[in-house]
Structure 1
Amino acid sequence: MKFNQLVIFSLFAILTFSNTNKVNAAEYVGVEQCVNCHQQEYKDWQTSHHDMSMRHASNESVLGNFNDASLIEHEQTHKFYRKGAQYWVNTKGPDGKFNDYQISYTFGYQPLQQYMVKFPDGRVQLIPLAWDSRDKKLGGQRWFNLYPNMQPHDEFFWTNNGQNWNYMCADCHSTNINKNYDTKTNTYNTTWSEINVGCEACHGPASKHITWANTPNQAGLNKGLDRNLKAKVESWDFVKGKKILLPNQSKKSDQLDTCGQCHSRRAQLNNSHDHVKKDFSDKYLLNGITEDLYYPDGQIYDEVFVLGSFKQSKMHQAGVVCSDCHNPHSTKLKAPIESICFQCHLPSEYTSAKHSQHQDGTEAAQCVTCHMPKTVYMEVDPRADHSFQIPRPDISQQIGTPNVCTSCHSKESNQWAVNALAKQFPNSTYQKSDSFAIAFAQASSGVPNSGDALSYIAQNSNEANIIRASALARISRYPGKNAMIAIMRGVKHEDPQMRLGSITGSAAFPFNDRWQIISPLLTDPVFAVRTETAGALVANWSNMSPSQQSLLSPALNEYISIQQYNSDRGFGLMNLANIHIAKGEWVKAEQYYLKAIEIEPIFASSYVNLADLYRQQGEDAKSLSILQQGIVNQPTSGVLRYSAGLNLYRQQQLNNAINYFQQATEVESDNPQYWYVLGLAQEKVNVKQAMSSLSKAYKVGKNPQHLYALCEFKIKHRDPTLQACLNSLSQIVPAQVVKQLTGR
């Protein structure tokens, strides 16, 4: 998927069930129905992050100072004040002016609290101004701006879709959410059972459980609840010679999929499928270990909300689940940090003196300091990396990833850390062992033989499946025989994420080959797998036989339903338009592109695709006009300027084309393609500038093809620095390639 989310029931609704009140379908009954029988769990839950996930703005919920307080930044003043029982903020709106907005809801409470404004069209938006709820001595008890440099054209400006609660937040911060977006009116009527994360957000609707509790000798799976949230492993056994306890017996548990609904970076596909009793990918699409979210070695980079990291870990492979460490009701650790780790790791083997070599009792000596390093998000919120990695400063030396050793010992080098670990663990086979990180980093840099390394990782059963799936996805840039074998095996793997990785990885193969490899997945039992397959193949609709189109159609209809569910975002409407393009239905495609531009005018891809539609129809002037409209609405987009340059180049308006290409490189200076095309266009105007642009293209992207083009230019124009260029090229391509180039 190309992603490139109030009848209001009282929180304390009181419902009564008798022995004769039989319910055919389980219904949501509310937290208060749980209190009498589950007093300790209720007590733990109160004031937890789940309890405080979202509240109506009131004296009980609001932590921030609204007593005529202010926040001054960039010579502008944001004001916080009250009107009776109401909470108000005066801040910059989408018109660029400061306006008054009423605060309707609170979001979270520690270490910061956010606030939301409800608009007449049903949209609920998070303002960028947050309250630092930490103790004052820690720097808290102050207002601060989460996005001080955001402008109205930025996705995460507070009135835009990036800060829209209905789409982005509601599914995780409240219970039993229905987004209820109306495409025709572009409005929301979002509903919930409980405004915060209540018992049934995790346990499921509890009406049958209430009936079970009120019925003597009542039988039933999980006592009227259909989710098994117990730990996977009942006991961990000591085995002589082992430093870590081993699982006695691993049983099926719904816990990880239940927690993963919210504690993951994922896209929601629908609101009708069950991600717990069926498969997680029936309702959500979990992000892989991608360049924009993780470092090449799998450490967290952007906010990933745990699950993607945890699935990399040996803990996950051993059968550990969330409740082995956390109290699910209070969301706190079940015991002191070291005691948690010593549940499985023998204390005698992992003392400070024997293992970490840090002073006993200090923070540095704690297991989590080295194996769960924290990254601060939202200015004040440190999040622990749940991949439980062993520090690898040797990898940091090679590819520049962070490592926890030198993050604390900031004056020391990676080599110092390598030496320190070698001294402490002289018999370690882990340090300097092969790692997927090297292959991931090289693939990101365009190293030509990366496909073979990625193929090996994808087929290595010793790697976590999420790593293998991510290797398959990254292989799309490196098609070849080994890549095809890895993808064909991935298509047959039992883990849906492996099959999803294979779909992405097959992108570069010719349609006939790709169809043969992935078309069996059109009838896959998992919703995301068959719909992603349909989305991948539909672009070749015109090349399909009638029987192929017939086979594709059922999954394609399901893929369409996903885009319709997400039609409150530009990408959903754009994907619908792309389907019509593939089918040659250009009028319908144009309507969807225009609708995408209407509801999300800052989404650049809609303009680019619509402009390309006009180009195919021979309407270059109309194409250029829509691109120029896009540049006005999204001034930070390089692709709009790049596309406008291509438009003018086709019309032989060379100087104007070069101007747009130059603008594209100024707006997105790290995009090698923009520099490359600029260089090609400049050849007819200024050869020296052309070679400078090609040199920049290679410097930015390290793509051997760009260096090849630069050397070719130097040969063509008899540049005196040719030999240096050829020497560099010979280091990264086969000798035969250089020989052919110079022979020409």
Structure 2
Amino acid sequence: MKLTLATLIMLASFTLPVVGNASTTLSSEPLVQPSIDQPATSERSAAPSQQNSQVEQWVYIAQDHRQDDAARADALRNLARFPSQNSLVAVVRALQDENMLIREAAIVGAEPYQFAHRWRMIAPLLNDSEWQVRMAATTNLIRDFSNMSSDQQQVMTPPVAELKAYLLSRQDPSSQLLLADVYRWHQEWDKAQVLYEQRLKVEQGNSQIRLSMADNLRAQGLNKQALAVLNNGLEHQPQEANLYYSQALTLVRLEQRNDAAAAMRKAAELAKTNSYFWYLNGVLQENVDLAESTKSFEQAYLISGAPEQLYAVCDIYVRYANEKAGDCIDELAKIAPSDVIEELESKRN
């Protein structure tokens, strides 16, 4: 797929303030960051007009101080699935709200945005007067520890210590799994591995444990071990889309592209309405089955309506002289900057 990061950012920023990582190389980071590490198995399935109406309603509720606090918090959490300019405005305002519940929910609403933007929005809350807000802010930002500057990492030291101490004091499964994730994000690989293995002994059916364990191994370059963990997981849960997704990422790193494409196809088919999975399937299928690749890009756009995915459709149309290339570019021209259109047009010659 010949999409450059600069092009995607330029295009997506025409309608969205920021997008997640995307490049010509398959990345473990989706266009919109998930709430934990793995993409959800479903996303936008309503008609675009219904969806937009619902999102705007959440934006309104989140900012309406006459609403019940619980309703405002719920609206902010829902906005995490639908990043947009209006969603971002609602989240930024809520991060400064006097109500602790609203600030905490706004941190969840900020999850889809790139780290640089989240840092500016959320870092002030690392010193919030309420410990729940500090814990939520720390959990949100620690995921990007490896992307932080040395100064940012130093700022994170006290709140990370507080978060670890809190989680160590709790024995419930969700807290123990989050502690393992915190160790992983903080690059304490061995501590994370010990906890994942402990949790797996008592929760064989929890696919998130294997997904996180595979991430922990991949982060250390232990891709064969990560693949073994995922293969074992699929023996227990052969219908779990996220396991196939993670398997595809691992196979790419092992340069087993055909097997990776097969795994990604399975992930997309099982998830059904996850546009990012269909997009990645398009990327991986291009050198395996052009027709399937094209259909996958089309499916991704039909599900999400995202401009960067419309660009992906137009791009593959143009590069392979599809008869629908002109119509696609005309549609994209309604929302995209002129230089993006000019770039696509130059490929038609």
Settle same-fold status: TM greater than 0.5.
yes
Q: Which one of the candidate residues 135, 152, 172 is aligned to 1:566?
A: 172
Q: Which residue of 1 aligns with 2:83?
A: 478
CA distance in 2, matches of 1:554, 1:641: 34
Q: Which residue of 2 aligns with 1:552?
A: 159
Q: Which has the higher contact order (CA 8 A, sep 6+)?
A: 2
1:560/1:576 contact within 8 Å kept: yes
2:319 is equivalent to residue 716 of structure 1? yes
Relative distance call for 1:510 and 1:729 in structure 2 (3 A) is: closer
Q: Which one of the candidate residues 257, 260, 263 is aligned to 1:660?
A: 263
Question: Residues 5-84 of structure 1 correspond to what in structure 2 (within 5 A)?
Answer: none
2:329 is equivalent to residue 726 of structure 1? yes
CA distance in 1, matches of 2:219, 2:226: 9
Relative distance call for 1:644 and 1:540 in structure 2 (3 A) is: closer
1:67-103 superposed Cα distances (whole Å, 9 cap, x missing partner): xxxxxxxxxxxxxxxxxxxxxxxxxxxxxxxxxxxxx
Q: Which one of the candidate residues 248, 254, 274 is aligned to 1:645?
A: 248
Relative distance call for 1:738 and 1:556 in structure 2 (3 A) is: same
Question: Residues 180-579 of structure 1 correspond to what in structure 2 (within 5 A)?
Answer: 399=50, 438-440=53-55, 454=59, 458-476=62-80, 478=83, 486-509=90-113, 511=115, 513-541=117-145, 543=148, 545=151, 548-553=155-160, 555-557=162-164, 559-561=166-168, 564-567=170-173, 571-579=174-182
Query: What is the RMSD computed on CA atoms of the aligned residues?
Result: 3.3
Shift of 1:648: 1.5
Structure 1: tracts of 5 or more residues without a match: 1-291, 297-395, 401-436, 443-452
2:168/2:179 contact within 8 Å kept: no
Shift of 1:484: 5.7
Greater strand fraction, Structure 1 or Structure 2: 1
Q: Which residue of 1 aligns with 2:16?
A: none
Q: Which residue of 1 aligns with 2:9?
A: none
CA distance in 1, matches of 2:234, 2:222: 19
Relative distance call for 1:517 and 1:688 in structure 2 (3 A) is: closer
Relative distance call for 1:467 and 1:708 in structure 2 (3 A) is: farther
Structure 2: tracts of 5 or more residues without a match: 1-41
Shift of 1:572: 3.1
CA distance in 1, matches of 2:142, 2:49: 41
| TM superposition score normalised by structure 2 | 0.73
CA distance in 2, matches of 1:707, 1:594: 42
Q: Which residue of 2 aligns with 1:701?
A: 304
- Identity of paired residues, percent? 26
Higher gyration radius (CA): 1
CA distance in 2, matches of 1:724, 1:636: 37
SS in 1 for 2:110: helix
1:255-293 superposed Cα distances (whole Å, 9 cap, x missing partner): xxxxxxxxxxxxxxxxxxxxxxxxxxxxxxxxxxxxx9x
1:515/1:537 contact within 8 Å kept: yes
1:534/1:559 contact within 8 Å kept: no
Count residues with an aligned counterpart.
Answer: 299
Shift of 1:561: 4.7
Relative distance call for 1:660 and 1:398 in structure 2 (3 A) is: closer
Task: Choose 709-718 or 600-609, whichever is displaced more.
Answer: 600-609
Q: Which residue of 2 aligns with 1:162?
A: none
Relative distance call for 1:534 and 1:683 in structure 2 (3 A) is: same
Q: Which one of the candidate residues 170, 184, 189 is aligned to 1:581?
A: 184
| TM superposition score normalised by structure 1 | 0.37
CA distance in 1, matches of 2:221, 2:154: 32
AA matched with 1:684: N
Shift of 1:734: 3.3
1:479/1:508 contact within 8 Å kept: no
Relative distance call for 1:530 and 1:618 in structure 2 (3 A) is: closer
SS in 1 for 2:143: helix
1:535/1:559 contact within 8 Å kept: no
Shift of 1:704: 2.6
Shift of 1:466: 3.7
